[in-house]
Structure 1
């Protein structure tokens, strides 16, 4: 389970999020090395008593500070492009779910697995149970099977929204009149929290996303139960 109150990134629950965390560490290390070099250079220049008033030409230095940044940009760009292609890869999803953003709740529709549709409203604070998170819990969680490719079709009914779950590395805009697509695989059972990350109106912060990952047999029991109760 990912706790939204922890500092930094939440624990990765999908392969894409693991790749994003690795890329973040990779880029941050490069930034750290560059910052260290610049700080060292500034310190040396400020503390040395050596001066040269006739420095008119330095081709070697020009070459270094032109070529070195280009190499650094390539080292950053290549893994970034790789992750972008991985995020767009769609390979035989097991379940397709359509999510529609409304002011201010989400509705879900399992179009090709079962004729199942329901709405997910934020749970009011005065009805929360012990262990539930304020402003993050919903009355109907989105339950999906573990270790299964999931395709999300995301749209909106009124204004711009954004379906975001940090632990899964998913952040896709919900645009009225447009159907956006994203995919992910959850690697372990758990409950993962997110929120609409687009400023969509007065109650923008009151339309959370809760994804519950369960084994396939539990998912099938849940879907049958929802079909009987909706």
Structure 2
């Protein structure tokens, strides 16, 4: 399951809610058919009061779809506006041939390069290009915004477990965000072919509980 549990859960709730709403609308359609079957009887009852089944049906076909759209718009708007909330942490990501540079915009002065661990330093059984020497450390449970660009050719900041797929383009600044629900180490790669050493451009994001992240940040500053 994706570590970006906020979006995962919100989408699941929205789709589940929409599914039940569809069932409810179909149920109303069945009731409407039953209602039309009893139309003659209703006409005899309502006509003396100035109403008719035709008027009630016309009003229903306007009011019910409008109500359905309004009910669906509320959770959908909540998801959209979640992206406008200010992030806890902003990280500038610059791709190079063939490494990443991270700058903590929210912590001025803190930044470092992240490269593939050399073959001679790999632990037994590890594959060259899968481990970064300096993972990006972020807090779990908080919104994190990424500002992604490239210093040379096209790269890609792709971490599928976090729902991140941001191209790194020279001369352009693209953004994305995520919320990592669980602490852990999450791996990614630059998927576009960007040169001879394209493969060893690992992305590793280490999510820490917020108190541990703050302790790490204080240690880096000290």
CA contact (8 A) 1:155 1:180 kept: yes
Out of 97, 103, 118, the position equivalent to 2:97 is 103
- Alpha-carbon distance between aligned partners in 2 of 1:188 and 1:131, rounded to the nearest angstrom: 26
Out of 153, 161, 168, the position equivalent to 1:167 is 161
CA contact (8 A) 2:5 2:181 kept: yes
Residue 147 in structure 1 maps to residue 137 in structure 2: no
Q: TM-score, normalised by structure 2?
A: 0.65
Query: Number of residues paired by the alignment?
Result: 162
Q: TM-score, normalised by structure 1?
A: 0.62
Q: Look up the SS of the partner of 1:205 in the other structure.
A: coil
CA contact (8 A) 1:88 1:183 kept: no
Where do 5+ consecutive residues of structure 2 fail to align?
Answer: 17-71
CA contact (8 A) 1:16 1:168 kept: no
Q: Look up the SS of the partner of 2:199 in the other structure.
A: helix
Q: Which runs of structure 2 are paired with 1:130-145 in the superposition (5 Å)?
A: 134-145=128-139
- Alpha-carbon distance between aligned partners in 2 of 1:197 and 1:17, rounded to the nearest angstrom: 23
Distance 1:155 1:88, change over 3 A: farther
CA drift at 1:134: 3.8
Out of 101, 119, 127, the position equivalent to 2:121 is 127
Out of 8, 12, 35, the position equivalent to 1:18 is 8
Select the structure with the greater relative contact order (CA < 8 A; seq sep ≥ 6). 1
- Alpha-carbon distance between aligned partners in 2 of 1:131 and 1:147, rounded to the nearest angstrom: 32
CA drift at 1:90: 2.9
Specify the structure having the higher radius of gyration (Cα): 2
CA RMSD of aligned residues (A): 2.9
- Alpha-carbon distance between aligned partners in 2 of 1:125 and 1:165, rounded to the nearest angstrom: 23
CA contact (8 A) 1:16 1:86 kept: no
Q: Look up the SS of the partner of 1:206 in the other structure.
A: coil
CA contact (8 A) 2:6 2:181 kept: no
Whose helix fraction is larger, Structure 1's or Structure 2's? 2
- Alpha-carbon distance between aligned partners in 2 of 1:93 and 1:130, rounded to the nearest angstrom: 38
- Alpha-carbon distance between aligned partners in 2 of 1:140 and 1:149, rounded to the nearest angstrom: 21
